[in-house]
Structure 1
Amino acid sequence: MALYAIGDIHGCLGTLDALLDRLALTPEDHVVFIGDYIDRGPDSYGVIERMMALRDAAASGDGPACTFIRGNHDQMLLDWADAKPGAYDLWSANGGLETLMSYPDTRVPPEHFAFYRATVLAAEIDGFAFVHAGFLPGESIEEQLEEPNPDVVLWTRKHLNADLSAWDIPVVCGHTPVSQPLSEEMLIAIDTGAVYAHRPDLGKLTAVRLPEREFISVPYQR
């Protein structure tokens, strides 16, 4: 069995499919998606369709086990759906319009809302913690996993370049684009800016195989 984590997809379905082809996942594998499935890229609708197909294949035993972490962009969509004050303005300014335009008739179907709501804030699998943005640097990961703080796990960057000696297990995260995957003793960062194809230092979707810390990246593809 191989354990993989895949970074921020941001509506880049062609890039996601290219990476999945490279991984050649089997029903014995487990893949963790660390959130931000949507926004900014050309086909957020198609990405969620692919996520649901993977989920269904896992449930039938025909595909790898899947864990779907929630990202801050996924949360912005849910906040808009729940009519929270200011949610539409925040989401639309961060790629939400591109997401709506990718949907037929700009309508998000109930089964997609159900997928977004079923995502989890964090998970621990095989001695690694998976989260979208990160955790607070001064507290143990085990404690923070007990009741993840949405404001932290969806948005924080406080762990970057911080003392992580309080962490008790390695953390795999995305959220902050990096030109190359980061592999430190307690921190693995795999958002290589798949949607930013116009930037020469970004524009790649990255997976990491664990515990080997083997990185697999593909360039942006429409």
Structure 2
Amino acid sequence: MMRTFVVGDIHGALKALVQLLNKLEVKEEDTFIFMGDYVDGWSESAQVIQFLTEFSQKFNCIFIKGNHDVWCENWLRFNTVNKTWYLHGGKETMESYNGFSEDEKKKHLEFFDNLKLYHIDDKNRLFIHAGFTSMHGVEKEVVEEAFYYDRTLWEMAVSLDKHLDEDSELYPNRLKHYHEIYIGHTPTINYNSYEPMNGANIWNVDTGAAFYGKLSAMDINTKEVFQSDVVRTLYPNEKGRNPF
């Protein structure tokens, strides 16, 4: 049976990613949708990009762009260091590239270039790193940065009255365009949840791998959840990313 997994924010945790994929018992016909923020946090950001590049040559993968990926992409392209990025994982990402050749960096830049801002599948399920602000859907969004920075979509979903019917005129128009919406970006550990969370028709699969949570994958058809160990236990001599 064909399976589709959505994978939360990795943040340089290659050990957690490999452990998670082993738990999935990956099959050739599986599809993987990665929700962005591949870098910044733990010490293996460049190695994560290398691994994903090779992994995508064997398996069907869709890669969404996160805000940390934008920062890293700009560094690789222009050799400029965003100060905010540097303080929130960029330093560790830059260090992870020690020993990588210029040709290898160019290939990684191609990876970042090809990341999608969002993906909509044949069942009208939207996959996006953070959110969007347009009440008319992602196609009408005028601020691209919302796709990898917005938190209002998720904040709205978790605060929504669970008894409010989708047909109600009070139901948010933003949510009516898609059968389901999958996001990362906002760690569920901020809400004291160590597993993916559901609010309205939105699933948040960022379970805080950058901090003291786990890396998660979800089968989007069965909603079965798979998780790595707590990531900081896999990197006992590191602190992880500063909260941001």
TM range (shorter): 0.7 to 0.9
C-alpha separation in 2, matches of 1:176 and 1:121: 17
Equivalent residues of 2:5, 2:33 under 8 A apart: yes
Give the secondary-structure state (helix, strand or coil) at the position aligned to 1:104.
coil
Q: Aligned to 1:159, what secondary structure does the other structure show?
A: helix
Corresponding position of 1:97:
91
CA distances 1:90-113 after superposition (whole Å, capped 9, x unpaired): 321221110011112476611111
Deviations 1:66-119 (A, max 9, x none): 0000100000112334449x8522321221110011112476611111111111
* Partner amino acid, structure 1, of 2:221: P
Q: 1:107 to 1:38 in 2, by over 3 A?
A: farther
Aligned amino acid, residue 139 of structure 1: M
Alignment partners' CA distance in 2, 1:147 and 1:68 = 20
Candidates 63, 87, 102, aligned match of 1:68 = 63
Q: How many residue pairs align between the two structures?
A: 207
Are 1:211 and 2:227 counterparts? no
Match of 2:126 in 1: 129
- In the alignment, residue 72 of structure 1 is paired with which amino acid? N
Q: Say yes or no: does 1:183 pair with 2:198.
A: yes
* Segment of structure 1 superposing worse, 100-109 or 168-177: 100-109
- Which string of whole-angstrom CA distances, capped at 9 and with x for unpartnered residues, describes residues 15-55 of structure 1? 00010001112121110000000011110011011100111
Query: What SS does the corresponding residue of 2:145 show, helix, strand or coil?
Result: helix
Write the distance in 1 (CA, Å) between the matches of 2:122 and 2:220. 9
Structure 1 consecutive aligned stretches of length 4 or more whose deviation exceeds 6 Å: none
Q: Which runs of 5+ in 2 are unaligned?
A: 161-170, 236-244
Identity between Structure 1 and Structure 2 (%)? 29
Q: Residue 144 of structure 2 is aligned with which of 136, 146, 150? A: 150
Indicate yes or no: 2:112 matched with 1:116.
yes
- Kept in 1, the 8 Å contact 2:12–2:39? The answer is yes
Q: Distance in 1 between matches of 2:46 and 2:155?
A: 35
| Amino acid in the other structure paired with 2:4 | L
Q: Which moved more, 1:64-73 or 1:184-193?
A: 184-193
C-alpha RMSD of matched pairs (Å): 2.1
Calculate the TM-score normalised by the size of structure 1.
Answer: 0.85
How far apart, CA to CA, are the structure 2 residues paired with 1:32 and 1:5? 5
Decide whether the 8 Å contact of 1:183 with 1:213 is kept in 2.
Answer: no
SS of 1:46's equivalent in the other structure is: helix
* AA aligned opposite 2:70: Q
Q: Which moved more, 1:47-56 or 1:146-155?
A: 146-155
d(CA) in 1 for partners of 2:99, 2:66: 25
CA distance in 2, matches of 1:99, 1:49: 13
- Distance in structure 2 (CA, Å) of the matches to 1:147 and 1:157: 15
Q: Give 5+ residue unaligned stretches, structure 1.
A: 58-63, 198-202
